[in-house]
Amino acid sequence: MAEYNFLVVEDSPTMRQLISFSLKRIRGARIFEAGNGVEALKKLSESKINLIVADINMPLMDGLKLLSIVRKDPNYSLIPVIIVSTEGADADKEKGLKLGANAYLPKPIQTNELLKTVKELAKIEE
């Protein structure tokens, strides 16, 4: 069975658990969690991550900064990144997509939409 390593970057434990809980429904999914961009970069260096789901507003390093670092690093530049945010503003969406995010999901996250996007980006067929 194929294994998929997903990295959930979210400072809110509730949202982190909710996203992880949803992603665990994908067969072969292994979830890695980080509370901010700095922790996320550490996790990226430790494991081979297939996809990142990151919040925008986070302490220490926000999702957009993390995204720009990931896209500039040749080791991680091809990893699909989904940006999530409560803001729902077009400006956030635009910023994220400009920096190279593959998708943008506004909060409150719809689990079906999240799973559909993740499966599409990680090329998972179930």
Contact flag: residue 57 with another protein (CB under 8 A): no
Q: Which two tokens stand for residue 126?
A: 């179930």
Does position 27 interact with another protein (CB under 8 A)? The reply is no
> Can you tell me which of 18, 31, 58, 118 binds another protein, judged by CB under 8 A?
18
Examine residue 100 and tell whether it contacts another protein (CB under 8 A). no
Q: Cα separation of 42 and 125, whole Å?
A: 29
Q: Smallest gap, in angstroms, from Cβ of residue 107 to another protein?
A: 5
Structure tokens given for 90: 């077009």
85: which strand partners?
Answer: 106
Restricting to residues 68-87, name those near another protein by CB under 8 A.
86
CA distances, 62 to each of 26, 68, 116 (Å): 27, 10, 25
Q: Which residues bind another protein (CB under 8 A)?
A: 12-15, 17-18, 21-22, 25, 86, 88, 106-112
